[in-house]
Structures are given as structure tokens and as C-alpha cells.
Amino acid sequence: MNKISIMLLASIIVLSGLMTVGVQNASAVTFVEGHVTVDTTWTVADAPYVVSNDIYVDDGATLTIEPGVEIRFGGAFNIFVDGNLSAIGTSDDEIIFTSNKLTPAPGDWNTIDFDGTGFRGAEYTSLHMKHCLVEYAEHGVTLDSWGRGDVISCDFVNNSESGVHVMDNSNVLIKGNVLKFSKYGIKGDYVSGYISGCSIVNNKIVNNTQYGVYVYNPYKWSDSDKITISNNTISYNAGDGVYVYANRNVYDISISNNTISYNAGDGVCVYADEDAYNITISNNAISSNDGHSVYVHSTWGYSVYNITISNNAISSNAGDGVYVHSTTGHRVYNIAISNNTISYNAGDGVCVYAEGDAYNISISNNTISSNDGHGVYVRSTWGDSVYNITIANNTISSNDGHGVYVRADDDAYNITGKAQHIAYTFSSAR
């Protein structure tokens, strides 16, 4: 066989269901593009794979990638998954998704986009990634599907936008990953108007140039809901540690057992243009952030209610320890703040501020000390009232303002304070 015949033979390889074009050299570099129409495996024997145009894993097909396979993207290309993707490496033999450039940079390629439409017969479409390194993409992986997406024990490093990008209604588990040196560690945004059903657990989200976890849903009449953020380390990010926003409602949010520290914005910010409710923030260590430790807010004349903030260690933040706020003539109610240690913050220890009525507020069994503002400040404006307030069994000491300061533009009544270790100031000003 002559030299030309050998080169032609090496330049066209057909994998089951996927046409690949070109081989770079005799070491079996495999160029891939186009549609995966049947179940297909990318093997170590044929690695590395160079993506020379977009890949489409069609509905009904599964692309399986073996441990140790390296996938290099030759340009701003994607792997679109309408079917299933299984990329399961091992701790000793990662699967690598990276740039094919000699001098790689963030944004060299686009994303792995899981866009399956969900239910297929007896099973959901699925994306499973474990022990993968994903680097130099725009978004490392994008989860935009009613199917099941699991991203576990992966490293997302040096991506231009985010390590993991969650969109719309998603059945998503993001667990045990390292997400660093991107703009956002985890970014959630919208297409259809809802961000829902995401669990963010046991991750290390550090050193990103904006937010650690950023859920931003500005779509008109949209919600952000059913989000669990637990047991993560979220530190040294250049914006908020955790930011959850919706143009309409934010609800059913659980933020627990995290270490959130040294971020350049708030530790935790939950912000709704309408109602913010059913929010639990518990058992976190939130310290040394450049904004508020915990900030829960609604605007446009709506309410903040059913908020539980408990068993947190909150210290040395540049704003309030806990700040719960509604604007434009509406209410803050059913707030329980208990069993926290809140100290050395640059604002109030606890501030509950309603531009409307503030009622059914319980602040109990906290240690609130050495804050630069009031220990506890409860306030209503816009000619409204403060009532049914219980402030009990706290230790409140060495704050630069009042120990407890309750003020209303109308009436302040049914105020109960007992067993504190400080005198109170109660004020009702019309």
C-alpha cells in the first residue's frame, strides 16, 4: 500500500452513528462533528477527540464517554444533548473537556448543552457527568431540560461565563464539584420564565470574578423557586456569595450548612420584585463579606413572609447581620429569627424594615453583640404599624446603637420583650 493510500485510509473513520472527518496523525486523534443518531461510545483507544463543528446527540441516542478520554474543542462549538450523555470518569482517570488551542483561554469553546425535552417512555432523558475536568469554555455545562441532570465531583475551571449554567425548569443535582476562576461559579437564568428544581450541595465555589451562586430571572411574571443550597464552601468571589432574584416571586428556598465568607458583596441575598416567602436560612457560617450577611427583600408593593433564619454564626460582615426588608407600602410578617450568634457586623445585628406593616415577628434565643448599629431594629414606615412582636431570651450587648429599637409611623403594640440582658428602647412616632 502506498503512502497516499495510507493517508486516505487514516483520514475517514466512521463511528457507530457519528461521522468523523480527519485524523491528525498516526496516534489516532479523532475529529468529530455532526449527529449521534444511535448509541455511541468514545473510547480511550480513539482519543483524543477533536470537535471540529457542533455535535448533536439526537433524541433516543446515548453518547457514552470512557474514563480517561480527552475531548478538545477546535473552535466555538457545542455538544448539544437532546438524548442522553454519560461521561463518568474516575478520581484517577478524569474525562477532560478542553480547548484545542496551543495557548488556551476562557471562552475558546461554547458549552455542553443538555436540552433534552424530558420524559421518554418509562425514563427521563439524562445527563450524567462525574469526575470530569471542564475548562476554557463559555459555560462549562448548560442544564436546560426537564430531564435529569447530575453533575458530580467535577472541576470547572477558567470558563469565561460560568462553570455550571442552569436554565428554566430543571431536575438538577450539582454536587461535590470545584467551581473556580470563572465569572460565576453557578449561574441560573431563564428562557421560558422559571428557574426551579435545583440542588447545589457540597461544592467548593471560590475565586470567581463575580458571584459564587447567581440565580437571575428578570423575565416578566417569572419565579425562582425550589432551590436548595447546602453544605457548600462559597468564598472569595467578587460579588455576592449567593444571589437569588426573580421578577415576580422567590419562594421555597433553603440555604443551609454552608460556609460563606470573604465575598465582595452580600453573603446571601434573596431579592424578589414581588413576594419573597418560604425562605429558610439555617446552620450557616457567614462571615467577613463586604455587604450584608443575610439580605431578604421584596419590592413593587409586595411582601416578605414566612422567613426562618436560625442557628447561623454571622460575624464581621460590612453591613447588617440580618436585614429583612419590603418596600413601597407593603408588609413584612411571619419572621422567625432564632438561635443565631450575630456579632461584629458594621450595621445592625438584626434589622426588620417594612415600608408597610411589620407584624408576627419573633426574635429569640440569639446572641447579638458588638455590632456597629442597633442590636435589634424593627421599623415600619408609610404610616403603618408594628405589632405582635416578640423579642425574648436573647443576649444583646455592646452594640453601638440601641439594644432593641422598635419604631412605627403609626402604632406599635403587642410588643413583648423578656429575659434580655439589656434595656430596650421602644418608640412609636406618628
The pTM of the full predicted model, rounded to 2 decimals, is: 0.91
pLDDT number for residue 167: 86
Tell whether the model's pLDDT for residue 12 goes beyond 50.
Answer: no
List the single range of 98-107, 260-269, 362-371, 400-409 with lowest mean pLDDT.
Answer: 400-409
Out of 164-173, 207-216, 221-230, the most confident range is 207-216
pLDDT at 218 over 70: yes
Which tens digits make up the pLDDT trace of 386-395?
Answer: 899 999 999 9
Handedness of CA 215, 293, 163, 110 (dihedral sign): positive
What pLDDT band is residue 200 in, cutting at 50, 70 and 90? very high
Write down the mean pLDDT value for the chain: 87
19-28, 115-124, 255-264, 275-284: segment of lowest average pLDDT: 19-28
pLDDT in the model for residue 43: 97
359 is in which domain, residue-wise? 30-428
Please write the tens of the pLDDT for every residue from 68-90. 999 999 999 999 999 999 999 99
Would you say residue 24 lies in a domain? no
The DSSP result for 157-223, as a single string, is: ES-SSEEEEEESEEEEEEES-EEESSSEEEEEE-SSSEEEEEEEES-EEE--SS-SEEEEE-STT-E
Q: How many domains does the chain have?
A: 1
36 grid coordinates: 449521534
The pLDDT score that the predictor gives to residue 229 is 97
User: Do 329 and 302 touch, CB atoms closer than 8 A?
Assistant: no
CATH of the domain at 78: 2.160.20
Residue 73 lies in a domain: yes
Q: Is pLDDT of 120 > 90?
A: no
Assess if residue 92 is contained within a domain: yes
* pLDDT for the residue 423: 39
For residue 39, pLDDT beyond 80: yes
Q: The C-alpha cell of 357 is what?
A: 406593616
How far apart CA 127 and CA 130 sit, in angstroms, is 10
- The dihedral over CA atoms of 348, 354, 190, 62, expressed in degrees to the nearest 10, equals 60
pLDDT score of 363: 97
More confident residue, 34 or 194: 34
Is 430's pLDDT higher than 80?
no
The reported pLDDT for the residue numbered 301 is 62
pLDDT at 170: 66
More confident residue, 359 or 220: 359
Indicate if the pLDDT at residue 132 is higher than 80: yes
Q: pLDDT tens-digit profile of 329-382?
A: 678 999 999 999 999 999 999 999 988 888 999 999 999 999 999 999 999 887
Q: What is the pLDDT of residues 163-177, one digit of tens each?
A: 999 987 668 999 999
Residue 117 pLDDT level (bands cut at 50, 70, 90): low
Does 6 reside within a domain? Answer: no
pLDDT value, residue 381:
83
Q: Is residue 305 over pLDDT 80?
A: yes
**Does residue 304 have a pLDDT over 80?**
yes
Cβ proximity of 276 and 304 under 8 Å: yes
Q: Identify the pLDDT of residue 248.
A: 84
Task: Please check whether residue 17 lies inside any domain of the structure.
Answer: no
d(CA 300, CA 283): 31
DSSP code at position 48: P
Question: Exposure of 104 by Cβ count < 10 A (0-12 exposed, 13-18 middle, 19+ buried)?
Answer: middle
**Has residue 3 been placed in a domain?**
no
- Mean pLDDT over 186-210 rounds to 87
Share of the chain above pLDDT 90, in %: 70
Determine the Cα–Cα distance for residues 282 and 351; give it in Å rounded to an integer.
17
Give the confidence band of 210 by pLDDT, cuts at 50, 70, 90: very high
Lowest model confidence (mean pLDDT) among 2-16, 257-271, 312-326: 2-16
Q: Looking at the predicted structure, is the pLDDT value of residue 4 above 80?
A: no
> Can you give the pLDDT at residue 24?
40
Domain annotation covers residue 11: no
- The answer to whether residue 22 sits within a structural domain is no
Tracing cell 491528525 back to the chain, one arrives at: 24
